[in-house]
């Protein structure tokens, strides 16, 4: 929808109504949780092997998990992330798949 708004100087401003996409293409996140059991190296190796992170990316994620208590290490579709989540938890690391918050 288009509308014109007159200004004091005689000009008009055109306004256009647009639709906003409210659904995300990748609405889920894989969250990895901090614990006091697993080593940094175990978490890093797991993120590389399970999530396909490179070493630097996995190390940064591990540091954020450690300092923040959790971190969304991957976004995507539920079915894909659920498989990764199961593989991570099978290695003794806490992980969940959650709906991404906008």
The closest of 59, 22, 63, 27 to 44, measured between CA atoms, is 59
Under 8 Å between Cβ of 74 and 7: no
Domain locations in the chain as residue ranges: 23-99
For residue 80, pLDDT beyond 60: yes
Q: Which residues pair with 11 in a beta bridge?
A: none
The CA distance from 88 to 72, in Å, is 13
Q: What's the topology of domain 23-99?
A: Ribosomal Protein L30; Chain: A, (3.30.1390)
Q: Give this prediction's pTM.
A: 0.75
Q: Kindly state the average pLDDT of the residues 62-86.
A: 98
Average pLDDT rounded to a whole number, residues 45-50: 98
């Amino acid at each position: 929808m288009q509308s014109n708004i007159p200004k004091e100087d005689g000009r008009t401003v055109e306004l256009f109504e647009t639709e906003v996409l409210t659904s995300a293409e990748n609405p889920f996140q894989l969250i990895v949780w901090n614990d006091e059991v697993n080593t940094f190296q175990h978490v890093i190796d797991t993120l590389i092997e399970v999530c396909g992170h490179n070493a630097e990316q996995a190390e940064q994620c591990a540091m954020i998990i450690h300092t923040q208590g959790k971190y969304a290490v991957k976004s995507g579709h539920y079915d894909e992330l659920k498989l990764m989540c199961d593989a991570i938890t099978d290695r003794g690391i806490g992980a969940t798949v959650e709906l991404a918050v906008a």
